[in-house]
Amino acid sequence: MSVSKPSTARAKLTLKRPHRLALATLPPRAFAFCHTFGLTVWIALAEGSGWRLILPGLLLLLWPAVAYAHAVLARDSKRAEFRNLYFDSLLFGIWCGVLDYYLWATLFIGLACFMNNMVVGGLRRMAVSFALFAGGALGWGVLAGFEFRPYVSMGLDIYQVSGAVIYLLALAYVMNGQNRKIGRSITEIQYQNRVFHALLDLGMVANRAPNINSLLDDALRHLHADFPEYGFAVFLQERQRPEVTRYAAEAGLRLSLEDERRLGSRLARLHEQDGGTLKLNERSDGEQLYATSMAGRLSLYEGWLVVRAPRLDAALERVLTLFVDQLAAATENKLLHLALQRAAERDGLTGLYNRGFFESALQQSIQGKMQQPGIDFAVLMMDVDGLKEINDQYGHLVGDQLITTVAERLQLQCREGDILARYGGDEFVILFPSADLSAPARVGDLIRTHLEGQHCVLATTEGEGIEVALRLSLGSASSSEVPAQAVLTLADNRMYDDKTQRRKSSVLN
């Protein structure tokens, strides 16, 4: 015979914090029902009803506790409290009938019930409350007979009116507390929206910024626009040499160069801090500077976000942590992007622009010439003479030294805006945007003067030094001479013509 075991699954009574409405209505409800019980006792003693009226009145003292327990145990404590407010109206209506419709009690208790329901649910709930109150009062009259008690004594009138005033003031106090909570919630939501908007701006700035300086300047400008009550600054210092500030930006701090230097030096002494927000010196305007470390968030730098604020509270500290995380991530991504971009645009041996970047820039100049025929561009092609012989005799490592030497000296002859690139093995090219043939002629003269025939020492793999004279063949062309698409070809042809003439001259000599 099998014995059935009782199920181990049992319903567990779980207590939870009720809805704020249940917490807010508990004190006024307890006061109202206790006051009504006192009113009942007064009438019983005044008219000799004795315990016949007082004993049922004890139920008034129990109801606030029952209503609160109902709200606590219900799945939806807010809906449970709405039902409690309806039951308040019904119970008070019945009790006004029990007290023979004592005038002041019926008037003030009814108004309190209607007002409570209208506050939480508007006119519709007030109408239902009125119906329940009137139904309870009239229902008792139908069952027990209608007797009216318009007046008992002056003392009882004063007691009832005083209780009504206290109840209304208590209700107003509760509502004021709820309004303050709502106001704080709205303020917090608005603050969170500002934070979200600022973080979104930082992401957009990171995508648009062409370099780190622009990223930091634009990021702080947007932060200050979203939080004008604060001032911001950021410092990125070299990890191995924290006394060296590589990048700095500020918005809303009005720092002089000397202020930036002193602040950077102060932060350099704090570079070993693990993180968190530190309090710096107080400013002359009475506000305080706080610094939040980017410790561990950057691979190449130690970073600090500095904020000017009247005080540091928990909300501001959380926001600074978010800003530091976002700014550090944006900076690290930009550094990586710039490194990848540099690797894609630069020649690995010389560090000059590579052929791909040059051809892209050349196409932009060609399109610009087609759109605005009055704007010309020019090209200077160069070829290092003797590289093949160096490679054949001493090896490519020595030939690479010759290439890098020529690249370094060519950079000295170029101006900002000139695009110097390594075009091939021993070929270099310079693009002069918005220039005519005079630009390559000027640089060509400089090359003939400062590079041509100059000697450089190259180290062989055996450690010996060989002396080589630098010689370059040059050819230039401009869009003022030929169609834009033919400029590079013409410069290339002229370079080879120059190389041919130079070889003939060396043979004759």
Contact criterion met (CB below 8 Å) for 342 and 263: no
Residue 507 pLDDT exceeds 60: no
Q: How far apart are CA 60 and CA 78, in angstroms?
A: 22
Mean pLDDT along residues 454-472: 88
Position 422 scores a pLDDT of 95
Mean pLDDT along residues 177-201: 84
397 Cβ contact list (under 8 Å, min separation 6): 461
Q: Which two tokens stand for residue 323?
A: 């800003």
Q: How far apart are CA 489 and CA 434, in angstroms?
A: 19
What number of helices (H) and strands (E) belong to the chain? 13, 11
Residue 408 pLDDT exceeds 90: yes
Residue 130 pLDDT exceeds 90: yes
Q: What is the pLDDT of residues 64-122, one digit of tens each?
A: 999 999 999 988 999 999 999 999 999 999 999 999 899 888 999 999 999 888 988 88
As to burial, measured by CB atoms within 10 angstroms (0-12 exposed, 13-18 middle, 19+ buried), residue 353 is buried
Contact criterion met (CB below 8 Å) for 410 and 451: yes
- Any idea which residue has 């199920």 for tokens? 7
Q: Considering only 209-218, 253-262, 478-487, which range has the smallest mean pLDDT?
A: 253-262
**Which residues make beta-bridge pairs with 307?**
232, 290
Mean pLDDT along residues 238-252: 85
Position 285 scores a pLDDT of 58
Confidence label for 488 from pLDDT (cuts 50, 70 and 90) = very high
Position 3 scores a pLDDT of 44
Residue 1 pLDDT exceeds 80: no
Mean pLDDT along residues 127-136: 94
Q: Please give the domain boundaries of the chain with CATH numbers for all domains.
A: 20-181 (no CATH), 209-344 (3.30.450.40), 355-508 (3.30.70.270)
Q: Which two tokens stand for residue 226?
A: 């979203």
Nearest to residue 226, comparing CAs of 210, 259, 204, 209?
Answer: 204
Position 472 scores a pLDDT of 93
| Per-residue exposure over 179-215, b if at least 16 CB sit within 10 Å of its own CB, e if not | eeeeeeeeeeeeeeeebeebbebbeebbeebeebeeb
Q: How far apart are CA 83 and CA 325, in angstroms?
A: 48
Q: How far apart are CA 9 and CA 12, in angstroms?
A: 9
Position 403 scores a pLDDT of 94
Q: What is the pLDDT of residues 9-67, one digit of tens each?
A: 444 445 677 888 888 888 889 999 999 999 999 988 888 877 888 888 888 999 999 99
- Any idea which residue has 């950079």 for tokens? 411
As to burial, measured by CB atoms within 10 angstroms (0-12 exposed, 13-18 middle, 19+ buried), residue 313 is exposed
Position 82 scores a pLDDT of 93
Q: Compare 473 and 299 and report the one with higher pLDDT.
A: 473
Residue 508 pLDDT exceeds 80: no
Q: How far apart are CA 292 and CA 206, in angstroms?
A: 20
Residue 4 pLDDT exceeds 70: no
Q: How far apart are CA 155 and CA 158, in angstroms?
A: 5
What is the residue-averaged pLDDT of the chain? 86
Position 65 scores a pLDDT of 92
Mean pLDDT along residues 145-165: 87
Q: How far apart are CA 122 and CA 83, in angstroms?
A: 15
Q: How far apart are CA 346 and CA 328, in angstroms?
A: 26
- Cα radius of gyration (the chain): 44
Confidence label for 273 from pLDDT (cuts 50, 70 and 90) = low
Position 492 scores a pLDDT of 95
489 Cβ contact list (under 8 Å, min separation 6): none
β strands within 211-319, DSSP E: 231-238, 245-251, 277-282, 288-293, 301-309
Mean pLDDT along residues 332-359: 88
Q: How far apart are CA 363 and CA 371, in angstroms?
A: 12
Q: How far apart are CA 34 and CA 340, in angstroms?
A: 77
Position 367 scores a pLDDT of 92
Confidence label for 418 from pLDDT (cuts 50, 70 and 90) = very high
Nearest to residue 40, comparing CAs of 85, 87, 95?
Answer: 95
Mean pLDDT along residues 454-479: 90
245-251 and 378-384 as β-strands: parallel, antiparallel, unpaired?
unpaired
Q: What is the pLDDT of residues 361-387, one digit of tens each?
A: 999 999 999 888 889 999 999 999 988
- For residue 471, the tally of other CB atoms under 10 A from its CB is 17
Q: Compare 267 and 286 and report the one with higher pLDDT.
A: 267
- Helix, strand, or coil here: 376? coil
Nearest to residue 247, comparing CAs of 300, 324, 188?
Answer: 300
Position 272 scores a pLDDT of 56
Residue 2 pLDDT exceeds 50: no
Contact criterion met (CB below 8 Å) for 461 and 395: yes
391 Cβ contact list (under 8 Å, min separation 6): 398, 399
Q: What is the pLDDT of residues 290-319, one digit of tens each?
A: 888 887 788 888 888 999 888 888 888 888
Position 282 scores a pLDDT of 59
Eight-state DSSP code of residue 333:
H
